[in-house]
Every structure is written in C-alpha cells, then in structure tokens.
Amino acid sequence: MAKKYTWCFLLVLMSIAIVAAHIGETAVPAVFIFGDSTMDVGTNNFLPVSQEIKADFYYNGIDYPFSEPTGRFSNGYNTADRIVKLLGYKKSPPSFFALLNDSPTFKRNILEGVNFASGGSGILNTTGLVYNNFMSLGEQINLFATVLGNITELCGPAAAATLLSKSLFIVSSGSNDILEQQRSRAPLSPDFLDNLQSTYADHLRSLYNLGARKFAIITIPPIGCCPVERSYNGSECLQGANEFARQFYNATETLLQQLSSQLSAMNYSIGNSFGLTLDIMGNPLAFGFKEIRKACCGDATTMCNQTASLCQNRDEYLFWDRFHPTQKTAVLAALTFFGGSHRFVKPVNFSTLAAINIV
Ligand SMILES: *[C@@H]1O[C@H](CO)[C@@H](O)[C@H](O)[C@H]1NC(C)=O
Ligand SMILES: *[C@@H]1O[C@H](CO)[C@@H](O)[C@H](O)[C@H]1NC(C)=O
Ligand SMILES: *[C@@H]1O[C@H](CO)[C@@H](O)[C@H](O)[C@H]1NC(C)=O
Ligand SMILES: *[C@@H]1O[C@H](CO)[C@@H](O)[C@H](O)[C@H]1NC(C)=O
Ligand SMILES: *[C@@H]1O[C@H](CO)[C@@H](O)[C@H](O)[C@H]1NC(C)=O
Ligand SMILES: *[C@@H]1O[C@H](CO)[C@@H](O)[C@H](O)[C@H]1NC(C)=O
Ligand SMILES: *[C@@H]1O[C@H](CO)[C@@H](O)[C@H](O)[C@H]1NC(C)=O
C-alpha cells in the first residue's frame, strides 16, 4: 500500500467496517445517483439550461426545510432523497456540481457518494438538447468516471474498487426520451424501444466496467397519466405512452436478468414505478390521495412558479406540478422499493440489495 493513500484507505476501510458491523446508521458506504428530474437535487442550477427544466425557485421547495427552493422538482424532498434516507443518510448526496464548487471538501465528500441526475435528461444523448441540456445519462456516467479517477487518486485502485462494489447505484431514466419522441411526433415504436434498451444496456455496462455492482433501477411511471399528458385527452391518460412504459418495464426486467447472468457479481433490483403508480391511481384513498389527476402547483399547461396557483393540501396530491410527483408520492415510492414485497420490486428490494455482501 503506497503511503500517500493511507488516510483515505483507512477512511474507506473504516466506513466499510462500520457498515458491515452495523455500528453506523448507513446501509452502504456510498450512494451514486443517475437519471432525470425525479432524482435531480440541484444539478440544473449550475447549467445554462432553459427555465422549463429548472426548479430553483418558489413554490418548489415549499415543504423543504426553511421552504428553500433547491432545484428539486418537488414541494419537498424527492424520491432520491427518500430512498437514501432509508439507507440511513439525511438525504441524497449533493449534486456533482455543488460538490465541485466546494473544493476544500470535495475529496472527502465524494467518498459518501454523488448525485449526477439532471432534469430533462434521458437515456439517449439527444434527449434534453432542446432545453440546452447536455447531461444525458452517458454524460453523467462520464462525470462519474472522473469522480472515480479522483477517488482512485486519493485511495488507490484497490480501495476505490472495494468502495464502489459495496456502494448503491440508483438509476432512474427514460421518461424524457418518451416525452421528446412524442413531441417530435415520432412513433413509440418497437424500434424506438430497442434503441432505448440497447443504449440503456451500454450505459449499465459502462457503470459495471467502472466498478458498480449493486444497481437499483427505477423504471418509467405511466407517463401518459401525468397532468400535461392528460391535457391531450380530456384529462384521461394517454394510452400509447402508458403502453410504451409498460413495455419498457418488461424489457428492462429482461435486460437486467441478462446483464446479471453475463457480468459476474452484478446484483440488481428493479423498482416498478409503473405498477405502483397504476395501483395508487386505481385506489387513491387507500394511499391517502384525493387528487390524482391535477397538479398541485400550476396546471396541466403552466409551470410551477411563484405566480402559479397552489393547492391547499399538498399531501393529498399525487402530482406536484404537471410532470412531477409530490413529496408524499416520493415517500410512498421510496418505502415500496426499499422495504416492499415482490409485487413492485424484484428480485429483491433495495434494502436487501444494499445488504448483499459482494466480495
Ligand atoms: C453519447 O454520449 C456519451 C457521453 O458524452 C459518449 O461517450 C457516447 O459515445 C455518445 N454515444 C453516441 C451514440 O453518440
Ligand atoms: C478530479 O479528476 C479530474 C480528472 O482527472 C481532474 O481534472 C480534477 O482536478 C480532479 N479533482 C480534484 C478535486 O481532485
Ligand atoms: C383517452 O382516454 C380514453 C379513456 O381512458 C381511452 O379509451 C383512449 O384510448 C384515450 N386516448 C388516447 C389517445 O390515449
Ligand atoms: C409484460 O410481462 C408480463 C408478465 O411477464 C406479461 O403478462 C405482459 O403481457 C407483458 N406486457 C407486455 C406489454 O409485454
Ligand atoms: C447477486 O448476484 C449473484 C450473481 O451475480 C447471484 O448469484 C446472487 O443470488 C445475487 N444475490 C441476491 C441476494 O440476489
Ligand atoms: C411563471 O410562469 C408563467 C408561465 O407559465 C410565466 O408567465 C410567469 O411570468 C412566471 N412567473 C414568474 C414569477 O416567473
Ligand atoms: C424487503 O426488505 C425488508 C427489510 O426492510 C425485509 O425484511 C423483507 O424481507 C424484504 N422483502 C422481500 C420480499 O424481500
């Protein structure tokens, strides 16, 4: 062990030992998060993207501590925060760019994880470009590769590989690819699904090749039921988009089975946002929701900002704005994927995935 690595090596070993011995409160030593606005905790605040894919203004954040708009597309914490909270942290690790801006603590902080997710981005490189967003999933993984370089520089390759193999990698992407395909009036065809899936496979393989082993994948919700989509069908869901999301779920499940049989020591868990959301919409009161069609902030066509209309009881709404779930919905999804049964998370739940000891 080269001497220059010592402090970091010890730090990583300690965090892994603490997790293994259940002394600390966290289930994994670090969490790395990739995807779109459902996971974004402020990435877009640092990017010259269009206003439509920003959320660093009120009413966003109205239920966040100090009612602070943070860039989360939510009234409070989002799904990334809520899952990571169940792993024993306070909330999601900060955005890569927030960490980079705080250079004195960058090296220490990246050892606990990084959030790369960016609103408006998708699986395809081209998704998001209309909003001037270049942070596609591929680009996020490129940034992760530089972070891995930074960790390796600090800790040496062995400790870096150990850290990554024990860490959780959360990925949630694909909805924006569908929305943009619809916007360009191109069909949600089998070819499009194949293209999305093969690109997704390449991305997941890249993460594996960089050292990721535990993949927590969240699939596309019934996107045709979000308020903006409903506005094209007299407040009913768009069936085409939903059918595509259903096929995407099936294909992703098959893809993950294949990848885990090809890549040694790869473990995964697939969170079925599609099924869960349909279940909620089928019986909203059972989940405490009274409004599953309308946005709480703004409406189907206007964005959520300070001049938009705001609902009274935010916890009774499935949707915060025309695209995104409320914090209440995020809590429900996180609880279901983390500790739920086989029904909406397979083959194991996120908590079981986190506890797998990969050697
Ligand atoms: C997509 O972007 C990534 C990251 O910028 C790049 O590595 C990859 O080659 C691109 N793929 C295609 C098909 O353009
Ligand atoms: C992280 O790695 C990149 C690429 O090697 C390098 O440019 C950057 O300076 C590193 N950052 C820190 C804080 O070490
Ligand atoms: C609109 O909603 C109705 C009722 O759910 C459904 O039967 C129809 O297929 C939907 N139209 C489209 C274009 O999705
Ligand atoms: C998805 O898979 C389920 C169970 O394997 C099957 O019942 C369903 O028909 C599939 N749906 C599509 C759209 O392929
Ligand atoms: C983890 O993955 C390996 C193969 O990659 C598999 O044998 C094992 O059963 C998985 N563990 C769990 C708990 O799913
Ligand atoms: C809020 O958004 C609407 C468009 O939906 C816009 O007309 C209005 O100026 C925005 N208000 C603020 C304070 O940015
Ligand atoms: C899901 O996680 C919980 C721990 O939170 C565990 O007790 C339970 O057995 C798991 N359920 C399944 C079906 O794996």
Give me the pLDDT at residue 233, please. 97
236: in domain: yes
Give me the pLDDT at residue 14, please. 77
**236: CA distance to ligand 3 center in Å?**
6
Find, among 120, 178, 145, the residue nearest to 303 by Cα: 120
Residue pair 296/59 in contact by the 8 Å Cβ criterion: no
* Residue 106 beta carbon below 6 angstroms from any ligand 2 atom: yes
180: in domain: yes
Residue range(s) defining the domain that contains residue 225: 2-13+28-355
Residue pair 349/337 in contact by the 8 Å Cβ criterion: yes
* Residue 263 beta carbon below 6 angstroms from any ligand 5 atom: no
The first and second tokens of residue 277, run together, are 């959301």
Q: Which atom of ligand 3 is nearest to the CA of 240?
A: 14
What are the E-state strand segments in the chain? 31-35, 113-115, 168-172, 214-218, 267-271, 291-295, 317-319, 345-346
Residue pair 84/31 in contact by the 8 Å Cβ criterion: yes
**Which residue's CA is the closest to the ligand 1 atom numbered 14?**
125
**348: CA distance to ligand 7 center in Å?**
8
Please report how many Cα atoms fall inside a 13 Å half-sphere around the Cα of residue 301, on the Cβ side: 4
- R_g over Cα of the chain: 20
256: in domain: yes
**230: CA distance to ligand 3 center in Å?**
9
The first and second tokens of residue 181, run together, are 């395909």
Ligand nearest to the CA of 251: 4
23: in domain: no
Q: Domain of 231: which CATH number?
A: 3.40.50.1110
Sheet of 113-115: strand order equals 113-115, 31-35, 168-172, 214-218, 267-271, 345-346
**248: CA distance to ligand 4 center in Å?**
10
* Residue 99 beta carbon below 6 angstroms from any ligand 5 atom: no
Q: Which atom of ligand 4 is nearest to the CA of 243?
A: 13
182: in domain: yes
Which residues lie with the beta carbon below 6 Å from any ligand 3 atom? 233, 236, 238-240
Find, among 45, 267, 49, 30, the residue nearest to 147 by Cα: 30
**Which residue's CA is the closest to the ligand 6 atom numbered 1?**
305
276: in domain: yes
| CA pair distance 347, 66, nearest whole angstrom | 39
| Mean pLDDT for back-to-back runs of 10 residues, the chain (359 residues) | 65 75 78 98 98 97 98 98 97 97 90 97 97 97 98 94 97 98 94 98 98 98 98 96 98 98 97 98 98 97 96 98 98 98 97 89
* Residue 347 beta carbon below 6 angstroms from any ligand 1 atom: no
Find, among 157, 160, 195, 163, the residue nearest to 177 by Cα: 195
Give me the pLDDT at residue 358, please. 73
Q: Which of 249, 250, 342 to mutate to test the pocket of ligand 4 (most atoms within 8 A of CB)?
A: 250
Give me the pLDDT at residue 154, please. 92
**Which residue's CA is the closest to the ligand 2 atom numbered 14?**
150
Active site residues: 37, 321, 324
Q: Which atom of ligand 3 is nearest to the CA of 236?
A: 2
**210: CA distance to ligand 6 center in Å?**
42
* Residue 100 beta carbon below 6 angstroms from any ligand 2 atom: no
| CA pair distance 178, 292, nearest whole angstrom | 21
Give how far the C-alpha of residue 210 lies from the chain's centroid of Cα atoms, to the nearest Å: 19
19: in domain: no
Give me the pLDDT at residue 78, please. 98
165: in domain: yes
Has this prediction a pTM greater than 0.85? yes
Give me the pLDDT at residue 4, please. 67
* Residue 351 beta carbon below 6 angstroms from any ligand 2 atom: no
Sign of the dihedral defined by the CA atoms of residues 286, 290, 294, 295, in that order: negative
* Residue 239 beta carbon below 6 angstroms from any ligand 1 atom: no
Provide CB contacts within 8 A for 72, sequence distance 6+: 40, 41, 42, 55, 60, 61, 64, 78, 81
Give me the pLDDT at residue 224, please. 98
Work out the angle at residue 309's Cα, subtended by the Cα atoms of residues 303 and 311, and round it to the nearest 5 degrees: 110
* Count of other CB atoms within 10 angstroms of residue 4: 12
How many structural domains comprise the chain?
1
Provide CB contacts within 8 A for 240, sequence distance 6+: 188, 224
